[in-house]
Structure 1
Amino acid sequence: MNRSTTRKHRTVLTLLAAVLSATAVPMVAPSTAEAAAGGEACIVLAPNDVDPDGRGPRAPMGHSGWAFRHGITNTWTYGATEGMTGKPQATFITTGSWGQMLHNFKTRNTGTRRYLKYRCLSTPSANVGKADLAASRSAHDGYDLFRNNCLTKSVDIFHAYSPWLNSTRHLPNPRIRGISLPPNYYYNNLLPKARWSPSRNL
């Protein structure tokens, strides 16, 4: 993709984001098994990553990772698609404690690729099995910077994790007219409106 095409897409993304109006979709009631134990989902942000015009005037688009809690335990599954190759090796998925998860994100990359902050949201249900399958699919379903990227994959995993998150009142749509919003815009502007936690530094 040449620079002029990238800038054109960036301009479209900015305009679309400015007029975004989240439309709620019907919530799906969680199953009895899911409702027995709540959970928690987190989005982790590398705000200086993915900068198509380099040192140009536009701000970086940002990059996001995801994490979900195993019910009410201290075990988390977390990961991210960190490359644009579309190959499974570009996605990391692992499991650990809350502290291990935060430490892994904080230390795994350097420079502009560093993860710096996160937001979380408690959920009334947690289907770890379905979320695990969605996470595995995210490593094998390709990559497209504007349609199937780190952010859209994160949201797909959260949809599998809890039907409650299928409502855009709780988890905003990451796309408008099929085009993904920049992770930075989504994290900074849409998640607060959906009452995700205040942003915390890693």
Structure 2
Amino acid sequence: MVMALALVGLGLATARPAHALGKGRACMFNATEGANGLGHVGWAFRVGPADDWIYGATESASWNWQRESNYATMLATFRTTNGRGYYDHFRCKDTTNSSVTAAKNKVNQVYSRPYNVVNDNCLTRSVEIFKAYDSSFNNLGNGIGNGPNWYYDNQLIGFGGRIYL
């Protein structure tokens, strides 16, 4: 019994954290007219190489949401959430790794915290989720003190151009 526990402990000590499913992709969705013209954002990340996405947003102090579906359903969801046209475009970045479990855990963590319009909001939470998903996002600023539209237009280092919904 002691030997078995020792072997289990050794296995845990030498196990590497999983960069779970290889290459990934993450997207930030923008609602330019949200928050009285300062903008509003949502987040999305791909689960492995398949057409499977986890996505969501902090819409307000009392409303966080997340879903999992294919790419087409994700786009349809963002097209219609808060009324057709509220989310109007998005930008994406391919990643070399995708730590899906870490990102899902971060979603649960940020959604469990009290909302704060200045430093714990739709933007800062989206950035935290991206950073948990892949370390290539560590060069992104945390979003504190930035309007979502300004951040979306100026701070998404390595993200592609706008894709309109």
Q: What range is the shorter-chain TM-score in?
A: 0.7 to 0.9
- Separation in 2 of the partners of 1:96 and 1:36? 17
Say which SS state the counterpart of residue 35 (structure 2) adopts. coil
Output the CA distance in 1 between the equivalents of 2:68 and 2:21.
Answer: 22
- Which of 53, 65, 71 aligns to 2:42? It is 65
Aligned AA for 1:148?
D
For residue 189 of structure 1, report the CA deviation from its aligned partner: 1.6
Residues 117 and 201, structure 1, Cα contact 8 Å, conserved in 2: yes
1:78 matched to which residue of 2?
55
Runs of 4+ with deviation above 2 angstroms: none
Contact 2:21/2:47 (8 A) holds in 1? no
1:162-173 → structure 2 map (5 Å cutoff): 162-166=134-138, 168=139, 172-173=140-141
* Alignment partner of 1:198 is 2:161: yes
1:122 corresponds to 2:94:
yes
Give aligned pairs, total: 150
Show structure 1 runs of 5+ residues with no match: 1-30, 52-59
Mapping for residues 18-37 of structure 1, pairs under 5 Å: 33-34=18-19, 37=22
* Contact map agreement 1:67 1:76 (CA 8 A) in 2: yes
Structure 2 CA distance for partners of 1:76 and 1:66, relative to 1, 3 Å: same
| TM-score in terms of structure 2 length | 0.85
After TM superposition, list the pairs within 5 Å mapping 1:7-26 onto structure 2.
none
Whether the 8 Å contact between 1:174 and 1:186 is mirrored in structure 2 is no
The reply to whether residue 183 of structure 1 matches residue 148 of structure 2 is: yes
Q: Which residue of 2 aligns with 1:143?
A: 115
3-state SS in 2 of match to 1:180 = coil
TM-score for both structures, normalised by structure 1: 0.70
The reply to whether residue 174 of structure 1 matches residue 153 of structure 2 is: no
Match in the other structure for 1:41 = 26
Superposed displacement of residue 36, structure 1: 6.1
Q: Aligned partners of 1:36, 1:96: CA distance in 2, in Å?
A: 17
> Residue 152 of structure 1 aligns to which amino acid in structure 2?
T
* Aligned counterparts of 1:36 and 1:128: Cα–Cα separation in 2: 7
**In the aligned structure 1, how far is the partner of 2:88 from the partner of 2:108?**
25
Cα distance between partner residues in 2 of 1:174 and 1:36: 25
Distance 2:21 2:149 in 1: 34
Identity %: 34
Larger Cα-atom Rg: 2
Q: Is the 8 A contact 1:119 1:199 kept in 2?
A: yes
Question: Which of residues 89, 92, 102 in structure 1 aligns to 2:75?
Answer: 102
Contact 2:28 2:42 in 1 (8 A): yes
CA deviation after TM superposition for structure 1 residue 48, in Å: 0.1
Aligned partners of 2:149 and 2:114: how far apart in 1? 22
State the alpha-carbon separation in 2 of the partners of residues 72 and 122 from structure 1.
Answer: 11
For residue 33 of structure 1, report the CA deviation from its aligned partner: 4.1
CA distance in 2, matches of 1:36, 1:200: 25
